[in-house]
Amino acid sequence: MNKLAFLTMDVESYFDTSCLKNTDIDRDQKYNCAEEVLTYAKFLSKNDIKGTFFVTVDFIKYCKDYLLEAISLGHEIALHCLTHQSYKNFSKEEFKKEIVESKKIIKEELGVEPVGFRFPRWEYKKELLDVLKEEGFIYDSSVIKPNKSFKKEFGYIYIKNGLYEFAPNIWKFPFKTVLLSGGGFYRFLKGKSMSRVLRKHIKKHDTFMIYFHPFEIHKGYLPVPKRGILQVQKKYLTKNRDVYLDSIQKMIEVLKENGYLFSNMKEYVYSKEK
């Protein structure tokens, strides 16, 4: 079987970024970075890649037209839940209500039915995965380091109770796990060190997933808190955003050189279930 790469975006506002919570920055919606959804959709299409967009439903009002264009370009719309909050304290019933509501709005606004899900902030809860299955989802993509209750399928893809799980690629240290799949990683380690680590990883594994957020490819100014956040968080918000898409472009070339094909998650599951 060919090696496979999945390019995804978590569609959410710049203001949904965890380290901006409870800070007093300028929350003018002109800084929400919604337009970068379209930037990325076009970037993927230029590379002849069909991506997966995990959409936070309360952000659709700012990026509806961009998402519709992404759909017309053939990209997949998946769900990043109703609002960008932690669902860790939700009961199954409460979570189900959010899912039903989310699906209804996505159907009305975008005309599609998502079959994939990613929890905001990678904060998943076991019991809630069952709700996804009950509500017709065929995959989830939220579990970092799936435990033994998940059956390994291929590369970083697992199955549990009939639900596929696309885990992010990681780099394990004794006391720390680095998410190689995105977030700030490429932006922090630009250049040689990045390519060394990643090239090795890509050679060794069969699947690779990339995820990031609209603000991370925004080239212009964004408000950053002056106080109350760590230096590393400040860097996460600002570092190398202007060249991030170039880094992703390089990654795509490296993946191709190593024999990877590109798929979106929905198509992968459908191909297995045929």
Residues in the site for Zn ion, rule: CB under 5 A? 10, 12, 120
Report, in Å, the least distance between residue 61 CB and Zn ion.
17
Give the nearest residue (CB) to Zn ion.
Answer: 10
Nearer to Zn ion by Cβ, of 12 and 165: the residue is 12
Report, in Å, the least distance between residue 175 CB and Zn ion.
25
Nearer to Zn ion by Cβ, of 120 and 168: the residue is 120
Nearer to Zn ion by Cβ, of 8 and 254: the residue is 8
Nearer to Zn ion by Cβ, of 79 and 252: the residue is 79
Q: Where on the phi/psi map is residue 215: left (φ > 0), alpha (ψ -120 to 50), or beta?
A: alpha
Q: Where on the phi/psi map is residue 162: left (φ > 0), alpha (ψ -120 to 50), or beta?
A: left
The 3-class SS string of 13-67 reads CHHHCHHHCCCCCCCCHHHCCCCHHHHHHHHHHHCCCCCEEEECHHHHHHHHHHH
| CB-based contacts of 7, cutoff 8 Å, min separation 6 | 44, 49, 51, 52, 209, 210, 248, 252, 262
Report, in Å, the least distance between residue 34 CB and Zn ion.
14
Cβ atoms of residues 201 and 169 within 8 Å: yes
Report, in Å, the least distance between residue 19 CB and Zn ion.
13
Q: Which of 45, 11, 8 is nearest to 214 (CA)?
A: 11
CA 92 – CA 131 distance, rounded (Å): 7
Report, in Å, the least distance between residue 11 CB and Zn ion.
8
Burial class (CB in 10 A: 0-12, 13-18, 19+), 19: middle
Q: Give me the helices (H) in the chain, please.
A: 36-46, 60-72, 92-110, 126-134, 185-188, 192-204, 231-238, 244-257, 265-273
CA 157, 162, 168: angle at the middle one, nearest 5? 25
Report, in Å, the least distance between residue 120 CB and Zn ion.
5
Nearer to Zn ion by Cβ, of 114 and 120: the residue is 120
Nearer to Zn ion by Cβ, of 86 and 161: the residue is 86
Nearer to Zn ion by Cβ, of 29 and 86: the residue is 86
